Amino acid sequence: MTSCVSMAAAGGYVSVAALSSHILRIRIGPAPLKPRSSWAVVMEDRPQVAVAVSETPQEMMLATDGLRVTVRRQDLHLTIARADGAPVLEDALPGAEFPPGGGTALTKRLQADTRLYGLGQRMGFLDKRGETVTMWATDDPLHHPGRDALYQAIPFVLALQPGGAYGIFLDSPAFTQFDLGKTQSDRLRIQTAESELDYYVIVADSPKGVLNGYSELTGRTPLPPRWSLGYQQCRWSYYPEERVREVAREFRSRQIPCDVIYLDIDHMDGYRVFTWDQGRFPDPAQLVADLRAQGFRVVTIVDPGVKADPAYSVFQEGLAGRHFMTTPDGEVYIGKVWPGPAAFPDFLQESTRRWWGRQHAQLLHLGVAGIWNDMNEPANFTDASVTGQFKGTVPGTLLQGEAECKQPHALVHNLYGLAMASATTAALQELRPKERPFLVTRSGYAGIQRYAAVWMGDNHSWWEHLLQAVPMCLGMGLSGVPFVGTDCGGFSGDATAELLVRWTQLGAFTPFFRNHSAAGTRSQEPWAFGPETEALVADAIRLRYRFLPYLYTLFAEARRTGLPVMRPLLLEYPDDERTHNLSDQFLLGEDLLVAPVYQPGAVTRMVYLPRGEWVDYWTGALYPGGQYTVADAPLHRIPLFVRQGAILPLGPVVQHTGEPAKSLTFDIFGSGAGHVYEDDGASMDYLAGDWSITRVTSRVEAGRTLVTVQPPEGKYRPVRSEVLLRLRNHRAPAAVTADGHPLSWRLEGNDLVVAVAVLDGTEQLLVEISGR
């Protein structure tokens, strides 16, 4: 049996395949469809999906357990409905248009209430309906509000409408535009420069369901090394090595937690990738080892441009191995980036990916812990004569790909960062098979989440960009990429003390948490603005470390489900219209509502609390949901609310993640449930079952509270000295017992803290707290 139907008609050639009961692949082209490989899609065509195919002279139909697809023979017009007949998505025009100038387009009808999200890295608010957006990886150093294409190009749109949700992923790495109801308010039009359409439709009951399907299709983020969830310090650039050592010393002597220090481009010899400036860094191995002894990891930048210097071995090897992109005449193309004249590896060639990957051996040999890929759109300092889409990048006519199937760069542009990331991550895995790789990238395409964390590039030290950080990161999450963050404090321009405090408070709750700033701007290390600011910034960083067990548990969930760590409220409350374009607050997982302050001088801010009850994390005050409230936000506090019913796993403040975190606290908010996921945080052993999940439930009854700690599931057992239950808003109890034996307790502010036994057996622990 086949899960696919195909046919030719006046409108061209079409094939419709069911990858699962709710995921369809649709291809339409002007010529017979040839097999086509994808860089984004990892989901196998599953022939076992049950489909029923039928035909009439007018139509061809394909039905799965969940969907019914009808294709009109006359013009390939396509309709998708649920199994019960409820319409989901319908073409507004023939199934595909082939404009005379080249390219292909599809046009779908939009229902009046449909909201449109995702679409990769974008300026502006969450709902993109009414806009036109472009997919074209671009190094844009000025993210003004009207900017369209930025570094990440992810041609995926997530639609929320009454009664359900769907996603459309057009698998095209060429120049692509989505008209999201701008030209005609009831039409979604997608146009690519490619000559055929290859797109996927994912249908679900909710946005979560769509993300589930989309991430099954394009892959999920493996668990990152735990250290990469710690605080990270960057600057363009820290050099010479004494400066790096000084930064490290400051963190430790001031007791400000930090896990990573970055080396930006000035560590290299004349910006030659994979080299070191001997004067500035005479002994990188020793430097890295000394920092490691203090608990720091070092991440170095690797740009794709290879200096066109005949005496430079990487350039020589690249030429000899035919690794660089060439003009149609076969000449190696020389552009211009930091090292001056430079050649660009063609990562669409497998031999090039392996060659490039091998270069990393030198860095890893020196002890470098992770890699930072920049300039991989690829950026190119073009002159004023280049305008339009090729401004700032390489010419579209360059040839890329394996010898037998070269393609013009124009058609594969958006793959550059993804293919470079795939080469890098594969190399890290191969060179250090026992360790989880860490890569952070600027550019990417659909599927980038499988290889790298993504930071949002060159923002400014502007309050407007602090605010913009929220929907930008959320939009990436709605595009399948959970491991995201922004340059805290802002990259270009000068931070102020207050901006740094507020941005660090936000950054503490973004998955990737790095402070970075541009050359020539004011320093913005935590201590750069004096002791008062330092204390506030340090507190925000410490709070991050307290929340690490919760954050890590969310990464484990992201790996299983594809759901983002940092979530817009609409993901959890899609039927609450007030969440639909709520772009200045977010949820970390399901339980923690984060409302950053993004205005100078503000000491309160409006927060929307969705249905249920919410507890002010700082005061313990309980608020009914389904309403706006004005939260207190003095400079030392970022408004945080916890869902009543949550149980959050929290850790101790450590100076870096390598310090043993032997104590685990379950913060208990009323009757509810929670869990913690744990593993060694570093190796691949979790893939072989070396992990654990500990579940806790609580029940508040008249006169007593019962808390159950389940024995851990899974093989992994952390080194642990204490487990604490913290019952928020609890008075002194009459008695606390575990299976009849008294337990010691103490009051801390409004909270009752109970120390319980560390569980490693198979028995559950039942704690009874009597008297409220």
Query: Could you tell me which of 771, 615, 748 has the C-alpha nearest to residue 700?
Result: 771
CB atoms within 10 A of CB 667: 23
The smaller minimum CB distance to ligand MIG, of residues 460 and 516, is found at 516
The smaller minimum CB distance to ligand MIG, of residues 516 and 730, is found at 516
Instruction: Report the alpha-carbon distance of residue 480 to residue 8 in Å, rounded.
Output: 34
Instruction: Report the alpha-carbon distance of residue 468 to residue 233 in Å, rounded.
Output: 21
Instruction: Report the alpha-carbon distance of residue 394 to residue 387 in Å, rounded.
Output: 12
The kind and range of the H/E element at 320 are helix 313-320
Instruction: Report the alpha-carbon distance of residue 328 to residue 698 in Å, rounded.
Output: 68
Instruction: Report the alpha-carbon distance of residue 269 to residue 372 in Å, rounded.
Output: 17
Long-range contacts of 747-753 (CB under 8 A, 24+ apart): 749/620, 750/620, 751/620, 751/726, 751/727, 752/726, 752/727, 753/724, 753/725, 753/726, 753/727
Task: Write down the least CB distance from residue 270 to ligand MIG, Å.
Answer: 14
Q: Which of 194, 216, 241, 264 binds ligand MIG (CB under 6 A)?
A: 264
Cβ neighbours of residue 275 under 8 Å, at least 6 residues apart? 268, 269, 312, 314
Does residue 536 sit in helix, strand or coil? helix
Q: Which of 140, 259, 374, 377 binds ligand MIG (CB under 6 A)?
A: 374
The smaller minimum CB distance to ligand MIG, of residues 490 and 651, is found at 490
Task: Write down the least CB distance from residue 442 to ligand MIG, Å.
Answer: 6
The smaller minimum CB distance to ligand MIG, of residues 189 and 272, is found at 272
What separation in angstroms does the CA of 192 have from each of 42, 177, 391?
Answer: 22, 7, 19
Which of the following is catalytic: 179, 241, 458, 539?
458
The kind and range of the H/E element at 663 are strand 663-668
Strand partners, 18: 24
Residue 91: DSSP 8-state: B
CB atoms within 10 A of CB 154: 29
Closest-approach residue to ligand MIG (CB) = 236
Clarify whether 140 is annotated catalytic: no
Task: Write down the least CB distance from residue 144 to ligand MIG, Å.
Answer: 16
Q: Which of 21, 75, 134, 236 binds ligand MIG (CB under 6 A)?
A: 236
C-beta separation of 705 from 734 below 8 A: no
Task: Write down the least CB distance from residue 565 to ligand MIG, Å.
Answer: 22
Which of the following is catalytic: 194, 374, 539, 678?
374
Task: Sort strands 306-307 and 399-400 into parallel, antiparallel or unpaired.
Answer: unpaired
Integer-rounded Cα Rg, in Å, for the chain is: 27
The smaller minimum CB distance to ligand MIG, of residues 340 and 612, is found at 340
Q: Which of 78, 133, 180, 265 binds ligand MIG (CB under 6 A)?
A: 265
The smaller minimum CB distance to ligand MIG, of residues 298 and 543, is found at 298
Terminal CA-to-CA distance of the chain, rounded, Å?
A: 64
- The residue written with tokens 């100038």 in the block is 101
Task: Write down the least CB distance from residue 458 to ligand MIG, Å.
Answer: 5
Task: Write down the least CB distance from residue 517 to ligand MIG, Å.
Answer: 8
Which of the following is catalytic: 196, 198, 266, 377?
377
Task: Write down the least CB distance from residue 466 to ligand MIG, Å.
Answer: 17
How many residues belong to the site for ligand MIG (CB under 6 A)? 10
Task: Write down the least CB distance from residue 378 to ligand MIG, Å.
Answer: 12
- The residue written with tokens 């850790």 in the block is 651
Beta strands (DSSP E) in 283-395 are 297-302, 306-307, 334-337, 340-343, 370-373
- Binding residues for ligand MIG restricted to 443-462, rule: CB under 6 A: 457-458
Task: Write down the least CB distance from residue 505 to ligand MIG, Å.
Answer: 22
Is 340 one of the binding residues for ligand MIG (CB under 6 A)?
Answer: no
Residue 427: DSSP 8-state: H
The smaller minimum CB distance to ligand MIG, of residues 481 and 615, is found at 481
Clarify whether 374 is annotated catalytic: yes
Task: Write down the least CB distance from residue 520 to ligand MIG, Å.
Answer: 11
The smaller minimum CB distance to ligand MIG, of residues 442 and 643, is found at 442
Task: Write down the least CB distance from residue 337 to ligand MIG, Å.
Answer: 8
Residues 404-443, one symbol each (x = binds ligand MIG by CB under 6 A, - = not), give --------------------------------------x-
The smaller minimum CB distance to ligand MIG, of residues 274 and 666, is found at 274
Query: Could you tell me which of 475, 453, 258, 254 has the C-alpha nearest to residue 370?
Result: 453
C-beta separation of 690 from 581 below 8 A: no
Largest CA distance in the chain: 86
Can you give 688-712 as a three-state secondary structure string? HCCEEEEEEEEEEECCEEEEEECCC
The smaller minimum CB distance to ligand MIG, of residues 280 and 442, is found at 442
The smaller minimum CB distance to ligand MIG, of residues 22 and 514, is found at 514
Sites of contact with ligand MIG (CB under 6 A): 236, 264-265, 301, 374-375, 442, 457-458, 516
Which residues are catalytic, by number? 374, 377, 458
